[in-house]
Structure 1
Amino acid sequence: MNRLLLTLLAGLFYLVFSTGVFAVPQCDAIFTDPPTGNHNPGLVPPDDIGPRLGNLTCTKWGCSGHSSRFAPGDYDFATGDFQNKSYMSTTGKTARLYFDNLSMNNASINASGNAENLIIYVRGDLSVAGQNYLNGILYVAGTVTFTGNAWIDGAIASGGSLSFGGNGGADVDLGAVDDADFGGMCDKGGVSVDHYRLEFTSDALSCAAKDILLRACVNADCSTQASVSSSVELTKNGVKYADVGFTGSAQTQVWHPDGGSVLLGLGTTAPSAPYRCYIDGALVANAQCLLDFADTGFYFDVPDSTACKTGNSFNLFAVTKDTQTQQCKPLFANQTKTISFGFDYLRPATVNNPAQLTLNSLLSPSDSIAIDGGGTQTMQVHFNGEGVASLSANYPEAGVVTLSAENNHTVSRPAGGSETLVLTHSDSFTSAPAGFHFANVSANGRCDASDPYDADCKVLAAAGEPFSMQVTAACWQSDDDKDFGNNKALQNFEHGGLSVVSQVVQPDTGVNGVLGSDSLAFSLSSGVSAQIIDDQSWSEVGTMKVALGADVSFEGVTIPASQSSSEVFGRFTPAYLEITGNDPEAAQSCGPFTYLDQPFGFKTGTEPNIQVAGLNAQDKVTSNYQIGDWWRYKHRDEADRNQWPERSYQDSTGLAVIGDSQAPALSGQVNYRGSPNIAELIGAQPSYRRTQTPQEPFDAKFDLILSALDVSDEDGICYRDSASAACRGFTFSDIGDGKAFELRYGRLVLENGYGPQSEGLRLPLRSEYVSSVTAGVTTWTLNGDDNCSVFNTQTSLDAGESATSGLYRILPSGFPDLQAYSDSGLSLRSGALVNGVGNLYFAIPNQAGEVPLKLHVEPWLKGYWNYPGNAADTLFDPRANAYFGTYRGHDKIIYWREVK
């Protein structure tokens, strides 16, 4: 997504790209008029926000007095203060937060949700500085200033000026604007109503009120009703009958005591839109929107019901109008009549399951009849003394259906003879699902365990990537039913969009995350019992259940959001890992320098470490990946934890080779610690390799390279640059760069010693380094900075070059067991160089002789001495001879002779 700078011009949002300017309308017609002054009057808080909730203060520990997770709805605060690594999340379709004033300091708001899930409205000005992130839609009535590293994903607008400075900016997501629920924030005059509907059945009684259904439809098939208030003028025979105000739909009544046919219609409507007339579920021309009121007839009102459950009883009235009172009076008091009942499907008109309707006569000789769709059945119905029969119906499917009743009633004429009246009535009612069940299609996608290491807790999908989910509309089984998984599935249920949300199961302290498809269209094919959602996704890590996100409105019936059940979906892993490393600092091994071949480490507190975050397929951080054993970059068992087994070092200077000092083994250990979760390399000791060719001092600069395997977790989820990129390793680059980390090519020199056999003897030793190489000529210089090199004078029996401690001697035959010391008092057997020099001390031997010596030292102090003459590529310990009983003379006298 391009980085966009958003500004507000002439009442429209404008996104400024390098290639042009595009307008983005909000809330349909909110910005149709230019703003007054610096304020845009189109987007305003609704009058009925709800109770004032005081102040909202959030830190990394949560929000004081309030949850840090907001469900859909409106929340009104005086002030908002997000500080100290605070976070806030949403749990479903849009939460709208209103503030008089808002401040943010190091905040991360709705990072794991979708931008359309959060709208923040600030009544005043807003200035944001520092490290802040907001994923949502931000509207500020005043001016907005972003500086520092403040960033917003989603959309932003202001009534005044809008500016970004420093590294601040916005990623604008036009889809978030379209998908957000602005609630009452939008100007109601801008809401679009496609048409209104009058709906009624074809029969009415002049002595009773007739129910008329009014609906405000947003689309042509009226699958969506307007969410804002409508006002219509109901007319009868072209004359205003009543003003009706409603939201979405409403039931009203029409009386016509005179009897006969009337024409119903709508006059003035607001919002303005045409109307359509439906009689018995069929569209008729507005000029034919006629309703006949008879003086004698049937009347009943079947209550809406739950599919498969016998509904509440309803009364069938057989009445006639009293000519004196104009009221209805019983027609069949204390009589049993044969009534023909008809049943048919209204919506959907074509059903997948042509279920029968069972009609029960509660006081009749024949208890019940089963009627096929489109068919009729007769039943003996008993009317009590008031002319009322009691019935009940059971329809084992979902939808809107019609029940009709008919009886041929013979009456006597006042002038003699008789005539037959056909008494008819029909009524439609809704049969709604008892609830909904969300099930897993994948056999591997169920994990009821709380442990991500459980063998049965297999991976279903990566966070944000598609998986298949099954949704079932359930038949009623019992009133206290909370698990609809075993209920009979309804096949005729249709709905334009079920609102669904996720509910985290594990980790139990995790965030809910959001579903990729939070509005599910439900429409089945013949023979299919469940809706399959193939492109569902979840933004988080762990396991979760799916639930209804809001009450379901179905053909005038409300199914509570609590009426759903779900299998556990999971396990979900990150789609990929994001690695953030520190800047390690190498530690010199010998004061201000380190010898080539000498191992060195890292300064305490700056050892190489990484934070491993799990990202979903939409490149958002998954919060739950950081919780307990769900951070599967760290194996729960210490013995199985990732030790970066393929790590390696690479020189960046081009002057030498660097590697692990214990190669082919690896030095150090990867430790894991929490809060935050970090993997750190402790005790590692790389070293620069010394070559046979001497080198001048140089400063270290090297990389520590982790392979793709080193930065993959237990599920094989690897480090990537994006969800679609290839797996890659991670590199700590240019360690030592600019730190004056000097490396020296060195050796230890042991000098010969001469003295009488009656005195002790001192042999000097010193460390040297190559200070320069000019035209192939090497200059060795005393290493006066060396105050760390140690030596040991304990007798060693190792004659080779592999030992790193002790003194190997060859004593002449009969020579006493002469020991060496590191101090003149002959009490210490080990010592350290001071300013690069030291000494070996011997006691008085009282015997003449030559003692060859080899001082075992560490590899970086050995030298390419080539003592045998044929081993120029071999490192040797320093050697020297101690001479006792031999006069050596003075070093400054070239020749000495006796003169007589």
Structure 2
Amino acid sequence: MFRLLLLISFLLLEQDVVAATVAFLDDFERTSLGSDWTVNAVESGASAAISTAVANSGTRSMYTRGGIVYVTSRSIDLSASNFSELSIWVRMGADAYSERPSAGDDLEVDIYLSDGSWKRVALFEGPGNSSGDIYNFSTALPDNALHANFAVRFHQIDGTSNDHDYWHIDDVTVTDYDVGPVVNGLFYDGFERAALGTTDWSISKVDSRSDSSIGTQIASVGTRSMYTRSGEIYVTTRAIDLSPYDFVQMSFWVRSGSDSYSEWPSSGDDLHAEMLLENGTWQRIGTYLGSGSTGGDTYEYYARLPTNAYHSNFKLRFHQIDGSLNNDFWHIDEVLVGHRSPALENIDHYLLTFSDQALTCNAQDVEIKACLNADCSTLYTDDVDVTLTPSGWTGSNTVTISGGTANVSLRQATTGTVTLGATSTTPAADNATQCIINGGTASLSCDMIFSDSGFVFSIPDFLAAKGATGITIQAVKKSDASEACIPAFASVSKTLDFWSDYVSPNSVGRPVSWPVVVNGVSIGASSGTATPISLAFDATGSSIIDVNYADAGQVQVDARYSGSGVDAGLVMTGNNSFVSRPAGMCVSATTICSAGDASCPKFMTAGTAFPLSVQAVAWQTDGDTDFCAGNGSTPNYSATGVGLSAAVLSPSPANSAGAVSPASYDHGAIAAGTHSVSISESEVGVFRFDVTPPSYFGYNLGVFSSEPIGRFYPDHFAVSVSDDGSLAANCSTSTPFSYSGEEITWLVAPQLTITAKNSANVTTQNYTTSGYLKLLVDDIDVANVTADSSAVDGGAVPLSITSIFNTGTLNTTSFGELTYDFSPLDLFTYTREARAEINSFTPDILMSVTDISDSDGVAMPSSPLTFTPLANMDVRFGRLWLEDSYGPEIFDVVMPLRTEYFDGTRYQINLDDSCTAYSSANASVSPTTLTQVDTSSGVVISGVSGASGLVLLAPTSVIGTPDTGKATVTYATPSWLQGDYDNNGSFEDARGTVSFGVYRGHNRVIYRKEIR
């Protein structure tokens, strides 16, 4: 008995139209199995070999016997096959030539699948209906059997040892049919619907109880299948036209019912599969037996059709021959009738020829050939559809090669290396694609390098607001500008998106963000706000742009082209940065003086900070020198260490150029554009202030100057006493002294040093130059001295002084420095009054300079400058004393005189006075009838006149006058030597009495006092 386990085909009755190749054939016409077979006898007594007992062809066949034994073929390479069949001749043993197998001594045919498993395709059961049963078995191999290590195995399941239980095998053949890989469906039904319908199937019931429909009990694929049941019934497909075809295959799935999902068919409730031949007869192609046991057996039919089935009315039908009501199910699924085209002449390989250096902006040309031989000397000239890799081929990734050659082009929007390939299905290429690159030899290396393309342009640096014109922008290979994007950008207009990015200053602290202007259009400040601008590219792939920017800084201009149409997916970018620098700087102050000389009004004290305005400005016109008139600001300009200096314009020549503080400042970006720099100039004069910015991105911007600024003048005068001076004693023949009430002058006049200073107390040397010296001698104020600072009267009241100050002299001694010399005509007089009658003392005269200020208001400090002149002398309260004198009337009488001073207790002779002069011209006598003053003069010595004095003529010498008597002599006394002789509280001239003829007394008189 023969049981179909996997698939069955029938013996072909006619010559095949499609070419076929025998991949394996063994007719066993030899004495031993050899290397094509491997025998594995599992049981003792089991064996396999070649004998002459019986054969299908020739005289020999292979047998198995005696127990469990495996006979396995060598590996058969079916990896290139699209459709192969296995055919075998099998005969059961018989006593006439061997010994028949008993029940259970079955023979199993297995095939080796690509997953490494064995699959049983047929089972021949012993005993057969009678000994010597013959089976001609043929089956199409499933797709997973078409691999390089396919094998056939015969497995005798059991047997009695020694010479029993034979199976004979002959003409084992594996045939490879030259058909294509694709099965083109002519009829298919997977039954994934609710009803069978009448379009594809017709039902003919022999038994009224029979039935056929679609159910969900079981399925091969999906969830539904067709069933037959309950009695005799025919289910037939619609007519299928097979007449145009040379190779048709058919497959379906059958499973018997089972109590787990339906009900199994009983013995005799068989299912037949039949086909309608061109002669109108039905031929059975499969018989599926009702087991009457548990059911659930699965069968798969897969075979090619014989040529007598290739007609226009081909049909397949399923015939259930019996069954009982609601029982005896057969399930059918995945019914397929399809054709395969004959295998075409194989292409050896595809050959691609190209240059491997490509640009993303251009389509790269590629020639493709379909080669029939290894050296491509012969081409496949029929049409063949080839799928090219990678994607991006112009038109389509699939191209039809006609006549053996096609020219295509590849676009890639992104950079990188791509590997080119070509594949086809009908016919397929036997070998991998080869490539000729850059005119070299053919190889399996098929890489093409797409280099980034973009825009190259170089924006020259420019003055802010002046911009740059005539800038060439070119579409090129980014790494090599000599490779232009031609023809893609040749003589066409393209719209590019432009935007700008700040390089410096960056976004942190940037006060303003002004747009860059390209071709007169303000462009966006980010890629998201890019501005489209249409550019006309010439034959070289170049265009011209103009760029301007009104501010200062380093800015990047970005350009981007986003392709569309044939350029879809292409993104080309380019960028270039430029430096926009200020054209100059406006340097100014709140006040300028165009005259630029000493006539300028006062502006600021030297050394005192004032605001200097500095503004970096943009270009206005070429040759511009006045950057404070009409130039726009560049608020983003910034620099550290901007130099500050000044040039003195007046006086000229100057004693000093002075110094600017600070010497530099940091110019930060500021929205207003103008920096107010707190600056000071140390000197007096009119100045031009210069600003020298550092290099700006490598550019020397220059030196920028203000108009004349000034006049700067001193902040104050520093006044010091360079010489305290000293008082002159009126008498210095011994111990120097002067009398109270006597005018005292300078022995050495005091001297002041007056220095013009700035606010930092530094001498302003230019102050003493012509036109800038504003201090006059009359601008020096000295306070009158009214009292001695030490000497006091008995009531502790300072002694009064009268002072007279005359105009001194003012002289320039060095740059910025003057001296003031007090006048030698200055006088100090101690007031002679009764309370001043005190002991002698050293004068303590405190001088006070109260104010020195010029016409600009430059002044000495508010506190008076005081000093005390040196006084190497005494001030003595003195008087002149005339001694009473007497003598005979016949002689002239000399009246001695002396100078005295008060020592705190009494008057005493001023022994230090050898200076006081006397003269008879200052003396008078009364009455004049007694005597007259003779002419005489002299100087006291040690305070006395000695033997000299005033000479009074003897009365006898005065004709007509009495010769004896007294007369009063009055001396016109200097005020400082007058005395309160009569104690009346007032000072008067000195007086003395002269007596003529008066007894002079005895020479032995010891003491005589004159009371008056």
Q: When the two structures are superposed, what TM-score results if normalisation uses the length of structure 1?
A: 0.51
Pick the aligned partner of 1:501 from 645, 661, 665. Answer: 645
Pick the aligned partner of 2:695 from 538, 553, 565. Answer: 553
Closer/same/farther in 2, CA of residues 689 and 551 from structure 1, 3 Å limit = same
Paired with 2:1002 and 2:538, the residues of 1 have a C-alpha distance of: 145
In the TM superposition, residue 878 of structure 1 has moved relative to its aligned partner by 1.5
In the TM superposition, residue 778 of structure 1 has moved relative to its aligned partner by 0.8
In the TM superposition, residue 875 of structure 1 has moved relative to its aligned partner by 2.1
Q: Does the alignment pair 1:788 with 2:933?
A: no
| 2:792/2:798 contact within 8 Å kept | no
Paired with 2:603 and 2:918, the residues of 1 have a C-alpha distance of: 58
In the TM superposition, residue 512 of structure 1 has moved relative to its aligned partner by 4.0
Closer/same/farther in 2, CA of residues 673 and 386 from structure 1, 3 Å limit = same
In the TM superposition, residue 326 of structure 1 has moved relative to its aligned partner by 7.0
Paired with 2:729 and 2:802, the residues of 1 have a C-alpha distance of: 18
Q: Does the alignment pair 1:768 with 2:897?
A: no
Paired with 2:787 and 2:933, the residues of 1 have a C-alpha distance of: 43
Query: In structure 2, what is the equivalent of residue 822 of structure 1?
Result: 936
1:313-344, Cα deviation, whole Å (9 max, x unpaired): 54323334799x97558775676655544345
Q: Does the alignment pair 1:562 with 2:703?
A: yes
AA at the equivalent of 1:669:
G
Closer/same/farther in 2, CA of residues 572 and 660 from structure 1, 3 Å limit = farther
AA at the equivalent of 1:531:
H
After superposition, where does 1:799-878 map in structure 2 within 5 Å? 806-807=922-923, 812=928, 821-823=935-937, 832-838=939-945, 839-841=949-951, 844-848=957-961, 852-866=968-982, 871-872=984-985, 874-878=986-990
Paired with 2:689 and 2:636, the residues of 1 have a C-alpha distance of: 22
Closer/same/farther in 2, CA of residues 653 and 373 from structure 1, 3 Å limit = farther
1:724-774, Cα deviation, whole Å (9 max, x unpaired): xxx3222224733xx4x233221122345556777665443322223x34x
3-state DSSP of counterpart to 2:782: coil
1:658-713, Cα deviation, whole Å (9 max, x unpaired): 889654x4356354442352112122332444452576764525243324x32555
3-state DSSP of counterpart to 1:677: strand
Pick the aligned partner of 1:748 from 863, 880, 899. Answer: 880
Query: In structure 2, what is the equivalent of residue 425 of structure 1?
Result: 574
Pick the aligned partner of 1:403 from 518, 535, 557. Answer: 557
Query: In structure 2, what is the equivalent of residue 223 of structure 1?
Result: none
Paired with 2:625 and 2:783, the residues of 1 have a C-alpha distance of: 51
Q: Does the alignment pair 1:666 with 2:805?
A: yes
Say how many residue pairs are matched. 541
Closer/same/farther in 2, CA of residues 673 and 568 from structure 1, 3 Å limit = closer
Pick the aligned partner of 1:457 from 582, 585, 601. Answer: 601
| 1:355/1:372 contact within 8 Å kept | no
In the TM superposition, residue 302 of structure 1 has moved relative to its aligned partner by 1.7
Query: In structure 2, what is the equivalent of residue 307 of structure 1?
Result: 464
3-state DSSP of counterpart to 2:950: strand
Paired with 1:449 and 1:574, the residues of 2 have a C-alpha distance of: 20
Closer/same/farther in 2, CA of residues 751 and 302 from structure 1, 3 Å limit = same
AA at the equivalent of 1:611:
T
1:475-516, Cα deviation, whole Å (9 max, x unpaired): 223454444332433333333442323444444414344444
Closer/same/farther in 2, CA of residues 755 and 557 from structure 1, 3 Å limit = same
Closer/same/farther in 2, CA of residues 543 and 494 from structure 1, 3 Å limit = same
After superposition, where does 1:114-193 map in structure 2 within 5 Å? none
Closer/same/farther in 2, CA of residues 646 and 396 from structure 1, 3 Å limit = farther
Closer/same/farther in 2, CA of residues 821 and 308 from structure 1, 3 Å limit = farther
Paired with 1:391 and 1:507, the residues of 2 have a C-alpha distance of: 54
1:796-847, Cα deviation, whole Å (9 max, x unpaired): xxxxxxxxxx55666658x99x675334xxxxxxx54444345334665424
Pick the aligned partner of 2:667 from 522, 525, 535. Answer: 522
Paired with 1:648 and 1:560, the residues of 2 have a C-alpha distance of: 68
| 2:459/2:577 contact within 8 Å kept | yes
Paired with 2:626 and 2:785, the residues of 1 have a C-alpha distance of: 51
1:21-45, Cα deviation, whole Å (9 max, x unpaired): xxxxxxxxxxxxxxxxxxxxxxxxx
Pick the aligned partner of 1:485 from 619, 628, 645. Answer: 628
After superposition, where does 1:614-763 map in structure 2 within 5 Å? 614-625=756-767, 627=769, 630=772, 632=774, 634-635=775-776, 638=777, 640-645=778-783, 650-652=788-790, 662-663=802-803, 665-667=804-806, 669=808, 671-675=810-814, 676-683=817-824, 684-692=826-834, 698-700=840-842, 702-707=844-849, 709-720=850-861, 727-733=862-868, 735-736=870-871, 739=872, 741-752=873-884, 762-763=894-895
| 2:602/2:710 contact within 8 Å kept | no
| 1:754/1:761 contact within 8 Å kept | yes
Q: Does the alignment pair 1:593 with 2:737?
A: yes
Paired with 1:261 and 1:653, the residues of 2 have a C-alpha distance of: 111
| 1:447/1:570 contact within 8 Å kept | no
Paired with 2:486 and 2:980, the residues of 1 have a C-alpha distance of: 125
Closer/same/farther in 2, CA of residues 326 and 458 from structure 1, 3 Å limit = closer
Paired with 2:787 and 2:722, the residues of 1 have a C-alpha distance of: 16
Paired with 1:861 and 1:340, the residues of 2 have a C-alpha distance of: 114
After superposition, where does 1:210-225 map in structure 2 within 5 Å? none
AA at the equivalent of 2:730:
S
Closer/same/farther in 2, CA of residues 517 and 553 from structure 1, 3 Å limit = same
Closer/same/farther in 2, CA of residues 765 and 471 from structure 1, 3 Å limit = same
Closer/same/farther in 2, CA of residues 373 and 703 from structure 1, 3 Å limit = farther
Paired with 1:261 and 1:811, the residues of 2 have a C-alpha distance of: 148
| 1:308/1:397 contact within 8 Å kept | yes
| 1:354/1:372 contact within 8 Å kept | no
Closer/same/farther in 2, CA of residues 563 and 502 from structure 1, 3 Å limit = closer
AA at the equivalent of 1:857:
T
Closer/same/farther in 2, CA of residues 422 and 385 from structure 1, 3 Å limit = same
Closer/same/farther in 2, CA of residues 842 and 551 from structure 1, 3 Å limit = same
Structure 2: which 5+ residue stretches go unaligned?
Answer: 1-358, 362-413, 418-448, 1006-1012
Query: In structure 1, what is the equivalent of residue 9 of structure 2?
Result: none
Q: Does the alignment pair 1:296 with 2:434?
A: no
After superposition, where does 1:190-339 map in structure 2 within 5 Å? 295-311=452-468, 314-320=471-477, 339=496
| 1:547/1:566 contact within 8 Å kept | no
Q: When the two structures are superposed, what TM-score results if normalisation uses the length of structure 2?
A: 0.46
3-state DSSP of counterpart to 1:603: strand
| 1:357/1:370 contact within 8 Å kept | yes
Which has the greater radius of gyration? 2
Closer/same/farther in 2, CA of residues 779 and 856 from structure 1, 3 Å limit = closer
AA at the equivalent of 1:457:
P
Closer/same/farther in 2, CA of residues 860 and 646 from structure 1, 3 Å limit = closer
AA at the equivalent of 2:943:
G
Query: In structure 2, what is the equivalent of residue 439 of structure 1?
Result: 588
Closer/same/farther in 2, CA of residues 358 and 645 from structure 1, 3 Å limit = farther
In the TM superposition, residue 397 of structure 1 has moved relative to its aligned partner by 1.9
Closer/same/farther in 2, CA of residues 384 and 853 from structure 1, 3 Å limit = farther
Paired with 1:388 and 1:841, the residues of 2 have a C-alpha distance of: 134
Paired with 1:447 and 1:611, the residues of 2 have a C-alpha distance of: 35
